[in-house]
């Protein structure tokens, strides 16, 4: 693997100029290598599949590098012009597989504004990166289902086997960022991901479903500040929905009591109150519809007395007298 920083290697300037508006010479660009992601289990209890790495190597060509995942044109720092997957002989992953990674070469235009970043790269201050991508699948290592819907929790052992999620079938690679704290230990990568069906929550990429699994598990758990914030938001949303549900239930009960007074006048108030208290919202709605039919037979919605207002017999307007 080329670890050379500085001027482009043979053939690289041609690749770089595919992304520039004018042809740059080798003195105008600074080139450096970057490992984007790998197939090892990271600190978030996740890993990319080997097939996912191959697809990401295709998707990341031409993608802009930024800082701390702040999507601003002023925040653009570099661009990837070459990307590939590579195996590291003699190195294995935590689950015993041959270690593989996505290796890229990126360029920065030299200038006064970029001199600080180039110095930070040369001195090793800027090193860790995080990738932003979309994946279709997050497969549980224990049961093979989507880990957002199964009962297993990442990082916990089941019958001696560690639970982790394999990220598979990438659909998009939208950015990579210089960050301070890496999640993938060997590759030095912190990743954010998005799925087609599940929203990403919290900056750590932790899904609210994963947090809820920890909350309702039978074992003692610890929660980060970010996880607690997510739980507070979720419970706030549930409280709002519960209040709205109670309001709708009260409205249904009033309507049922009013209809019952017409359709079932022989039914006592206490009996009716006991019945409505025991019924669910869906059952109350069913009872309301049944009572509406019964009440309409007793008290027709179309008034029996009406008068015509100069309208023909085919378009009679009914009015209450």
Exposed (0-12), middle (13-18) or buried (19+): which is 179, by Cβ within 10 Å? buried
pLDDT at 159: 92
> How far, in Å, CA of 282 to CA of 235, rounded?
23
Give 263's pLDDT tier (boundaries 50, 70, 90).
confident
Q: Where are the domains of the chain?
A: 12-206, 229-298
44-63 confidence digits (pLDDT tens) = 899 999 999 999 999 999 99
The model's pTM: 0.57
**Could you tell me what percentage of the chain is helix, strand and coil, using 3-state DSSP and rounding each to the nearest 5?**
35, 25, 40
- Two tokens, residue 49: 């599949």
**Of the candidates 300, 298, 316, the residue with the CA atom closest to the CA atom of residue 308:** 316
pLDDT at 309: 44
Query: Looking at 48-52, 89-93, 221-225, 278-282, which range is the least confident one?
Result: 221-225
Give 205's pLDDT tier (boundaries 50, 70, 90).
very low
Give 142's pLDDT tier (boundaries 50, 70, 90).
very high
CB 171 within 8 A of CB 119: no
């Amino acid at each position: 693997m080329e670890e050379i920083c500085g001027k482009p290697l043979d053939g690289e300037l041609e690749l770089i100029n595919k992304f520039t508006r004018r042809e740059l010479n080798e003195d105008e660009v600074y080139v450096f290598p970057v490992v984007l992601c790998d197939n090892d289990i990271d600190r978030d209890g996740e890993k990319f599949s080997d097939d996912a790495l191959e697809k990401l190597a295709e998707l990341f060509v031409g993608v802009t590098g930024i800082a701390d995942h702040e999507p601003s044109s002023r925040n653009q720092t570099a661009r990837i012009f070459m990307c590939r997957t590579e195996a590291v002989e003699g190195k294995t992953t935590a689950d015993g597989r041959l270690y593989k990674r996505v290796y890229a070469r990126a360029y920065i235009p030299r200038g006064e504004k970029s001199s600080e970043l180039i110095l930070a790269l040369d001195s090793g201050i800027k090193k860790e990166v995080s990738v932003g991508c979309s994946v279709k699948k997050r497969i549980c290592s224990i049961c093979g289902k989507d880990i957002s819907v199964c009962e297993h929790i990442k990082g916990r052992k089941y019958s001696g086997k560690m639970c982790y999620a394999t990220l598979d079938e990438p659909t998009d690679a939208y950015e990579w960022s210089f960050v301070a704290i890496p999640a993938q230990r060997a590759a030095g990568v912190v990743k954010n991901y998005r799925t087609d069906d599940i929203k990403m929550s919290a900056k750590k990429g932790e899904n609210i479903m994963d947090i809820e699994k920890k909350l309702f598990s039978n074992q003692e758990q610890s929660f980060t500040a970010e996880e607690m914030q997510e739980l507070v938001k979720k419970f706030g949303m549930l409280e709002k929905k519960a209040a709205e549900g109670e309001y709708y239930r009260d409205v249904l009960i009033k309507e049922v009591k009013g209809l019952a007074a017409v359709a079932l006048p022989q039914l006592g108030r206490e009996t009716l109150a006991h019945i409505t208290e025991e019924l669910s919202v869906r059952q109350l709605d069913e009872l309301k519809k049944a009572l509406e039919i019964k009440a309409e037979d007793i008290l027709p919605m179309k008034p029996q007395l009406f008068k015509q207002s100069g309208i023909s017999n085919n378009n009679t307007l009914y009015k209450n007298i």
